[in-house]
């Protein structure tokens, strides 16, 4: 067979499209991940409200997971009654029993985890046109069930309230986005400033009005927030810096912001 004198044609490999970048996924860190040495060395001089925040973090308290567990237990008992006893009851008796069951569900969720309830002790709605304010409950009846109130804003307010009172500044911000009106806006984050995160969807922490917590540190385009209602607990959560819509600082302690380093890195 004759050997061809020309080089064989080179077939180029197909060019594949670059793989899409993986979606950012928040991570959650407990006190054991941060380390006792780091926590013991924290300076609360300019952000004293971080002392109770870190104390809650170190305590390792859980959140609505415990509430849901008790709620599900009560629901299971209710389903048994519906399948059995309630079918044979007169309409009036059935309505009375359903009312009692609803009260039992509400009581079960409220009593399941008092450490969340305390964050709501002083949280009220903004005054209406008549100046009336209403207490915000950690759980709200809805039809035959209950809705657990997102408590990130309540946690932030509780921590700041341990240092300042409502007489010195407005603290009762009931939603995450309402914290964009707290204190004063700052251009560069500092340990302990209030960070408001935009709604990005996809998980319970980011539903409704977004999320709010305290700035912990930053590593490049990732920031870390200490807050409540993060993966159903008090912990340090990572998120994209681009998702932070506001950095806020208590107006009463502006000097604390101006002193010391800002934009603390991890």
Per-residue pLDDT of the chain (266 residues; tens, 9 = 90+): 554 454 445 555 566 666 665 688 899 999 999 999 999 999 999 999 999 999 999 987 555 555 555 656 666 776 776 667 767 778 888 788 778 877 777 676 666 666 778 888 777 766 667 777 667 777 776 665 666 778 899 999 999 989 987 666 667 678 899 899 899 999 999 999 999 998 765 444 444 579 999 999 999 999 999 999 898 889 999 999 999 999 999 886 555 544 444 444 43
DSSP string, 67-92: HHHHHHHHHHHHHHHHHTGGGGS-HH
The Cα 223–Cα 176 span in angstroms is 17
The Cα 24–Cα 227 span in angstroms is 19
pTM of the predicted model as reported, rounded to 2 decimal places: 0.73
Q: Which fold has domain 28-62+151-266?
A: endopeptidase fold (from Nostoc punctiforme) (3.90.1720)
The angle that helices 64-83 and 91-112 make with each other, rounded to 10 degrees, is: 160
The Cα 222–Cα 152 span in angstroms is 20
- Going from N- to C-terminal start, the domains of the chain cover 28-62+151-266, 64-150
Helices marked H in 180-259: 254-258
145 three-class SS: strand
Q: Which residue has the tokens 């309505």?
A: 95
CA atoms within 13 A on the CB side of 111: 8
The Cα 250–Cα 237 span in angstroms is 22
So what's the pLDDT on residue 98? Answer: 78
So what's the pLDDT on residue 203? Answer: 44
So what's the pLDDT on residue 215? Answer: 97
The Cα 248–Cα 252 span in angstroms is 12
So what's the pLDDT on residue 168? Answer: 65
């Amino acid at each position: 067979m004759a050997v061809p004198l020309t080089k064989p044609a080179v077939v180029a490999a197909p060019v594949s499209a670059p793989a899409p970048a993986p979606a950012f996924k928040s991570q959650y860190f407990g006190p054991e991940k941060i380390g006792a040495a780091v926590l013991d060395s924290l300076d609360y001089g300019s952000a004293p409200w971080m002392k109770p925040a870190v104390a809650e973090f170190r305590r390792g308290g859980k959140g609505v997971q415990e509430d849901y567990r008790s709620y599900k237990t009560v629901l299971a008992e209710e389903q048994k009654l519906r399948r059995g006893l309630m079918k044979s009851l007169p309409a009036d008796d059935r309505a009375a029993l359903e009312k009692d069951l609803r009260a039992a569900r509400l009581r079960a969720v409220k009593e399941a985890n008092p450490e969340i309830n305390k964050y709501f002790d002083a949280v009220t709605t903004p005054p209406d046109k008549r100046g009336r304010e209403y207490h915000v409950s950690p759980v709200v009846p809805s039809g035959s069930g209950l809705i657990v109130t997102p408590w990130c804003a309540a946690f932030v307010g509780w921590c700041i309230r341990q240092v300042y009172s409502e007489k010195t500044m407005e603290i009762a911000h009931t939603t995450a986005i309402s914290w964009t009106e707290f204190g004063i806006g700052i251009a560069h984050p500092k340990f302990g400033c209030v960070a408001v995160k935009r709604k990005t969807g996809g998980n319970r922490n980011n539903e409704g009005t977004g999320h709010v917590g305290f700035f912990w540190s930053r590593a490049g385009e990732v920031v870390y927030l200490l807050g409540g209602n993060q993966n159903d607990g008090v912990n340090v959560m990572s998120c994209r810096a681009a998702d932070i819509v506001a950095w806020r600082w208590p107006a009463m302690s502006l000097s604390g912001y101006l002193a010391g380093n800002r934009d603390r890195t991890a």
